[in-house]
Amino acid sequence: MLAVGRIEEVRSNEIKNHTQRVAIISTMIAKKYGLDEEQVHLIELAATLHDIGKIGISDFILNKTGPLTDEEYDLMKTHSTVGEEILNHANRGVLQTAGRSAQEHNEKYDGSGDPRVIKGDEISMYARIVAIVYVLDALFSTRVYKDVWPMENVKILLEEQRGKHFDPEVVDAFFECIEKLIIANNELTDSEE
């Protein structure tokens, strides 16, 4: 699954090892969140496909060196729906979970996200975990439009977004394993970042 999930990394100039980081860190948070061994294994596999829908986004948008226009940003947001469409006919539980995570990882706990504008427990628990890791990975990585965020700023953002963007229990799980997450992130960060 990791190999399939890395498809979008091949096309992007910026997100090397993103898929692996999201899978590993989602797994660590899932354990602290209290998921059982089978559910933890499921999120480890499913998280690798959260961005599979980016194969439907043009290289121009994926590799743009400046800020996206509103129209480009709207196109980029469609990767959630494209990912779900790719995976929605699967009979295997892991692919069904991956499909929901692909579609729902940009939802927000308070219902202000997209594409379905669902909230709280309507969002799959797997997607609620992937959502926080997805944002964390972006903050801990260099992008053409921003530098790596300091940990203190990340902590402040998580507290501010607790119950808004992020499930409060997932935020708590993050803080319970923060040292291990930092180590894992640093080990998986590309040398050029």
Q: Phi then psi for 129, rounded to 5 degrees?
A: -75, -50
164 is catalytic: no
Sign, CA dihedral 120-108-32-153, equals negative
Are 154 and 185 in contact, with CB atoms under 8 Å apart?
A: no
Q: Could you give the 3-state DSSP secondary structure of residue 166?
A: strand
**Catalytic position from the list 31, 32, 54, 108:** 54
Determine phi and psi for 143, rounding to 5 degrees: -130, 160
Q: Which residues contact 32 (CB under 8 A, 6 or more apart)?
A: 173, 174, 176, 177
3-state secondary structure of 48: helix
Catalytic residues, which ones?
A: 54
